[in-house]
Structure 1
Amino acid sequence: MKKWLVSLLALVAISGASLTSVNHGTSAFAASKSKLTGKVLAVGSTALQPLAEQVGERFSSAYPSVQVTVQGGGSGAGLTQVQAGSVQIGNSDVFAEEKDGIDASVLVDHKVAVVGIAPVVNTDVSVKSLTKSQLKKIFTGKVTNWNQVGGKNEKIVLINRAAGSGTRAVFEKAILGDATAATAQEQDSNGTVQKMISTTPGSISYLAFGYIKGQSGLKALKIKKVSPTTKNVEKNAWPIWGYEHMYTKGKAKGATKAFIAYFHKSSVKSLIKKLGYIPLAGMKVDRTASGVVTKK
């Protein structure tokens, strides 16, 4: 056989072997993905719930052998249940260190987004902007009529979140400080507050940004003429915001680890923005359990 023909056959053999090797590697990767199985139950923050549910749907499509269930209940419930080991993930709007009865040392924090929170009123309220001092007086019961803060003569209907709500904790830390909130009707989720405000004249409460956009019957208030926008949260010009935490008891493993990691995929960042949340990468400041610091 001629030398050139021998060389050609050898090259074809090598190319075939390489192709077989590549295809085998691809199949192994696919098999590795398909082997991811298990159940992930995430409970807690209703502010994080819409994002967690939609990411869960995408994740389940990518990993059909993993069952993801997302439930509300409030940040307090999420932290309590993950600490007890009854759920894989505790969703929270606040740091575990800030919750009474929670041993943060046994939990691992996974931040997945930032949530902005704004005071909201029924659209019949003529006031457009309040100061932090005015908001504090309203939520502590010292101001009870809108005409005391530049509005029309109309009784203020105060609607609060229930104790244990992370959204409430973030709002009160930013606006009330150490002051005690006035007695008011309490609702157990952002969704319920949204409905109550949009149908109750003279009412005021607070909501995560994602529950405000496009909602009829309610409007967000400015604080000292500063608008509740993503840009203002990113530079801390808007004071009411917090991280969306997904806590695990110990290090995340298996399907739970993969689900949390899925929040950081580039394809999910657009979903985070679409739903009114703020990607971590855009923040120019950092918040710890003790305060806010400028990023280096």
Structure 2
Amino acid sequence: MFAITEMRNGLRAGRARALAVAAGVLVVAASLALAGCGRGPAGQSGSAGQSGQLSGTIDIGGSTTVLPLAQAAAEQFMQRNPKVRVQVQGTGSSEGIKGVSEGVLDIGDSSRELKPEEEKLGLVDHKVAIDAILFVVNPDNRVKNLTKDQVVGILTGKITNWSRVGGSNEEIAVIGRDEASGTREFVQKEIIGENASFARDMVALPGAGQVKATTARTPGGIGYIGFAALDETVKALSVEGVEPSEKTVKDESYPYFRFLHMFTKGGPKKPAAAFLEFVLSAEFQRDTVAGEFVPVN
């Protein structure tokens, strides 16, 4: 349904703003001040208020891949619930999972599944979107497609020149994510293998925005990002002849895709429960999620 060029549309303004702060903290505040609202460890003591409206604070943090989605949801949710204040942070999946498990966050965003040791933390998984991992290069790179074996060879440093995969005689510069990243965790586990090592000279960066920007200005660069980070500054490669799109992710012909998650500590309480209900609503999935990712319903 969406080709790569079409997936660049949708929430361009929200994406640009989100990626600009991918390594920092984005605080989205309601225009009305919070009145008469108590607050627990992570804001879940919000109430319905005297008028029956939701009130309180929701603290969200974690994956920079999920950040544009969380930001868009926060803005729309606060427009509908002006007595609720939603704070969104982009600090990496591991930090999001840690924060929600410790009660610092109400919702922990993650672009990866829980690790075995995290499954004991009492977290509840809310799958909010489906994302694809894209391998992107400088637009002037003449390579358009890689096989799975070539992807692994490049990421592990066994293939070091583009001429070996149909490109020009130019050294390959691998640009990836740091160890707090759920995207890196996915690439490690699902693409190169848990026992494999990334190329020794891989540049490890904290956010998808940095990976994209560095790849865009590096002629021999190749990076990995999610759907939401894609724009005209980089070129996405096909894998095994299949172009990443909503259609190829849904029919599973494109090989690299994953769920995006919002975790809560146990069952969510108001107003976080209402926020998650909104994120999973048919309206938000259709009008917002579909502009950046693949809807879950």
Same fold (TM over 0.5): yes
Match of 2:266 in 1: 250
CA displacement at 1:41 relative to structure 2: 0.9
Q: Deviations over 1:228-287 (max 9, x none)?
A: 11111112111211111110111100111111111122321211111x211112xxxxxx
Structure 1 residue identity aligned to 2:253: A
Instruction: Give the secondary structure class of the aligned counterpart of 1:58.
Output: helix
Could you tell me which of 144, 152, 160 is aligned with 1:144? Answer: 160
The answer as to 2:192 corresponding to 1:171 is no
Q: Identity percentage over the alignment?
A: 37
In structure 2, the partner of 1:273 is 290
CA–CA distance in 2 between the matches of 1:230 and 1:29?
41
- Counterparts of 1:104 and 1:192, CA distance in 2: 33
Deviation of the 1:85 alpha carbon: 1.0
3-state secondary structure, aligned to 2:101: helix
Q: Look up the equivalent residue of 1:188 and give its one-letter code.
A: P
> TM-score, normalised to structure 1's length?
0.80
Contact persistence 2:141–2:220 (CA under 8 A): yes
Alignment check: 8 A CA contact 1:198 1:216 kept = no
- Aligned ranges 1:1-296 → 2 under 5 Å: 31-32=51-52, 34=53, 36-96=54-114, 98=115, 101-178=117-194, 179-183=196-200, 184-212=202-230, 215-269=231-285, 270-274=287-291, 276-281=292-297
Q: Which runs of 5+ in 1 are unaligned?
A: 1-27, 282-296
8 Å CA contact 1:110–1:247 kept in 2: the answer is yes
Q: Could you tell me which amino acid in structure 2 is paired with residue 261 of structure 1?
A: E
Unaligned 5+ segments in structure 2 are 1-47
Q: Secondary structure at the match of 1:170?
A: helix
Change (3 A) 1:253 1:149: same
Residues 29 and 253 of structure 1: CA distance in aligned 2, closer, same or farther (over 3 Å): closer
Q: Tell me, in whole angstroms, the C-alpha distance in 2 between the residues paired with 1:172 and 1:205.
A: 14
SS for the counterpart of 1:254 is coil
**SS where residue 85 of structure 1 aligns?**
coil
Q: Which has the larger radius of gyration?
A: 1
Counterpart CA distance in 2 for 1:47 and 1:72 is 8
The alignment's TM-score, normalised by the length of structure 2, stands at 0.80
Q: Deviations over 1:125-167 (max 9, x none)?
A: 1110000100101010011110111110011111010012111
Q: Relative contact order (C-alpha < 8 Å, sep 6+): which is higher?
A: 2
- The count of corresponding residues between Structure 1 and Structure 2 is 247
Distance verdict in 2 for CA 1:128–1:139, change over 3 Å: same
Q: Tell me which protein shows more helix as a share of its residues.
A: 1
CA-atom RMSD in angstroms:
1.7
- Confirm or deny: 8 A CA contact 1:130 1:224 kept in the other structure: yes
Map of 2:38 onto structure 1: none
Return the alpha-carbon distance in structure 2 between the equivalents of residues 142 and 223 of structure 1.
18
In 2, Cα distance between equivalents of 1:40 and 1:151: 48
The alpha-carbon distance between structure 1 residues 31 and 266, as it changes in their structure 2 partners (threshold 3 A), is farther
1:110 shift after superposition: 0.8
